[in-house]
Amino acid sequence: MTAGSTVSVVSNISGSAACRGNVLCVRPSPPSSMTCGTTPTPLKAPDWQSLEDVSYINHADASFGQDYMRTSEALMMPVLRTLTRTAKPILQSSVCGCQALVTQTRFIGFSPRQVPSDASFHSVSFSETDHPRVLITGGLGQLGVGLAKLLRKQYGKNNVILSDIRKPPDTVFYSGPFIYSDILDYKNLREIVVNNRISWLIHYSALLSAVGEANVPLARAVNITGLHNILDIAAEHGLRLFVPSTIGAFGPSSPRNPTPDLCIQRPRTIYGVSKVHAELMGEYYHYRYGLDFRCLRYPGIISADSQPGGGTTDYAVQIFHDAIKTGRFECNLKPDTRLPMMYIEDCLRATVELEVVYKTDPVRQAIADSWPMNFDDSNASKDWGWKHEYDLPELVTTMLNHLNAEAVAVQAS
């Protein structure tokens, strides 16, 4: 996956509750081509790919056997691989040999609210020998803690800071740095970035599709105004920025089966609109200011040890929990709904003993009906050899083993 491009990944398992995901990836900003001295150097064409080169890659599902499903950890790997792969050349590049100093000089007292229209931003603000200093916003949601765990293994516990507006549970609080951060508070964000010498920003804060529809003003604030803060902070401080997008960035007029990386995107949820906005703003900041922006379109994510945060695809996680706890599941989507997340046939088989009750929620159903049924991930395979590691039976087995082990542990305690 090249930096600066927009890529979609999917761990697809299609079927009546199946999902594929898109990952949008943006290529790295041009190493050290942005500033030297106080005069911004124009972007160098060879370091950049043209807009036409931007690749959107979906990770698609197909039939079971070719498809795969990944746990949230596995899903993070492309992100980590991309960040890691692109970090080295940037860290090792020394076009002017005065990067860090220049960055500091250039941006002293600079406020992104006063960005000159022709401003360029430096892409890297940490030295060659440093590990990245990572801040994860919205880190207490379904995905953040798992990602922090992986990043901490790689870059050291103290180099990865989780943040959120919620109170962390003990397990999270004692497992590594945690800090309060409201992405709507720009000054607070800037203080955190500066005081902690943050170099990578992973922006997970969001209101997901269902909770977003329930509170549009808040979703608009968090997902759009919050994103603007994040973009400005990242640009101002030369951070590498990762923002996930989603299958929700597509709408009823997008082709659903399969959904290519590049196609019409007219979502009808505030969540989807905000994610399309994020994709476009990230690309714009990349081309306009040299921001190193990356974005993967995720499918619905299934995880055992963290709870989903109010999305349309939450049912695909909940079904596992209910299978273990009660053997009964009340589904808020119709039985023939197909979403890019997992191929559900085996999933249904694994949960065959469930008595699934279909009690359709019209809001979620309308959203689900407008989302892609199938993602084509052939571009991701071609681009960086993407291949899923969890197929449906393995995912189901892993989920059930994990939840069973948890249930046994609880009973024993």
Ligand X SMILES: CC(=O)[C@H](N)C(=O)O
Binder to ligand NAI among 142, 332, 337, 351 (CB under 6 A)? Answer: 142
140 in contact with ligand NAI (CB under 6 A): yes
CA distances (Å), origin 248, targets 17, 21, 213, 312: 15, 10, 12, 9
Please report how close the Cβ of residue 176 comes to ligand X at its closest, in angstroms: 25
Q: Which residues pair with 21 in a beta bridge?
A: 59
Q: Is 138 left (phi over 0), alpha (psi -120 to 50) or beta?
A: left
Q: Of 186 and 242, which has the nearer Cβ to ligand X?
A: 242
Residue closest to ligand NAI when measured from CB atoms = 141
Site string for ligand X, 227-266 (x = CB under 6 A): -------------------xxx------------------
Q: Of 209 and 379, which has the nearer Cβ to ligand X?
A: 209
Site string for ligand NAI, 16-55 (x = CB under 6 A): ----------------------------------------
Q: Which does 141 bind (CB under 5 to 8 A by kind): ligand NAI, ligand X, none?
A: ligand NAI
137 in contact with ligand X (CB under 6 A): no
Contact 12, 375 (CB under 8 A): yes
Strands of 245-246's sheet in order across: 7-8, 296-298, 245-246
Gyration radius from the chain CA atoms: 21
- Return the range that interacts with ligand NAI (CB under 6 A); candidates 2-10, 158-166, 320-328, 403-411: 158-166
Q: Which residue out of 271, 287, 289, 298 is catalytically annotated?
A: 271
Q: Which of 23, 27, 87, 82 is nearest to 51 (CA)?
A: 27
Q: Which of 225, 204, 67, 87 is nearest to 147 (CA)?
A: 204
Q: Which of 20, 23, 11 is nearest to 383 (CA)?
A: 23
300 in contact with ligand X (CB under 6 A): yes
Q: Tell me the number of residues near ligand X by CB under 6 A.
A: 10
Report d(CA 133, CA 177) in Å as an integer: 11
List residues binding ligand X (CB under 6 A).
208-209, 246-248, 271, 300, 311-313
Catalytic amino acids?
271
